[in-house]
Amino acid sequence: MGQILSIEEQPCSTSTEDRILDAALTIIQEKTISGLRIRQVAEKANLFQSNIHYYYNSKKELLLAVQKKVLNRYREIRQQSIHQSGIGPEATLEDRLDIFIKQKAYTILIEDKYDVAELDFWNQSRLDPDMHQEFCLSYQNWRTEIREIAETFAPDMPSVKQNLIAGIAVSLLEGAAVQFLVDKEAFDLDSYFAYCKSILIREIRG
């Protein structure tokens, strides 16, 4: 696929805490958050259940740590993409948008466990204030990054429109994950993202 990065999957860390988070993430993909049990995480990580409780006093604490891991992974992929592409201050509008598009395409097709978990966390965040706060901060940061692109390439654009473009960009990218992970035949992902980029470029350039 044209949008896919040549980024290596995040290796499973040898630290006990990361082994726990990796195991929990895998179980969420297999059984959903509601189906996750501390005992299962311990078995998957090849640890004693007491090892889990040493780091996390409750299932909620563990889930909040996994949620942060998911959101941090997205930022990490974008930073790797910037480094890999050699993008600097002279980057074009297309280059800057590609960073976000390629990150989402990569997680959908290569590391879908992160997108699957994110969608599950979104559902949980409706009921849990701490998860809700983490999600709000994540989306806020994402919108801020995209709004900065609009400010750079359309400095005279009203801030209200810059905010709307940022929100629309997040919706377009997240919408791809929601639809494609449910039905991989729904649309061609390359074509979808190419059209998303054309929409954003048209709106930013006016």
pLDDT in tens, 51-67: 999 999 999 999 999 99
- Is 9's pLDDT higher than 70? no
| Three-state SS at 167 | helix
- Torsional class of 113: left (φ above 0), alpha (ψ -120 to 50), beta (otherwise): alpha
Q: Which domains does the chain have, with CATH numbers?
A: 12-57 (1.10.10.60), 67-205 (1.10.357.10)
Instruction: Name the nearest CA neighbour of 165 among 177, 182, 180, 153.
Output: 153
Q: What is the pTM of this model?
A: 0.85
pLDDT tens string 152-176: 999 999 999 999 999 999 999 999 9
Name the phi and psi angles at 156, rounded to 5. -90, 0
Q: Write out the DSSP string of 135-156.
A: HHHHHHHHHHHHHHHHHHH-TT
Report helix, strand and coil shares of the chain as percent, to nearest 5.
75, 0, 25
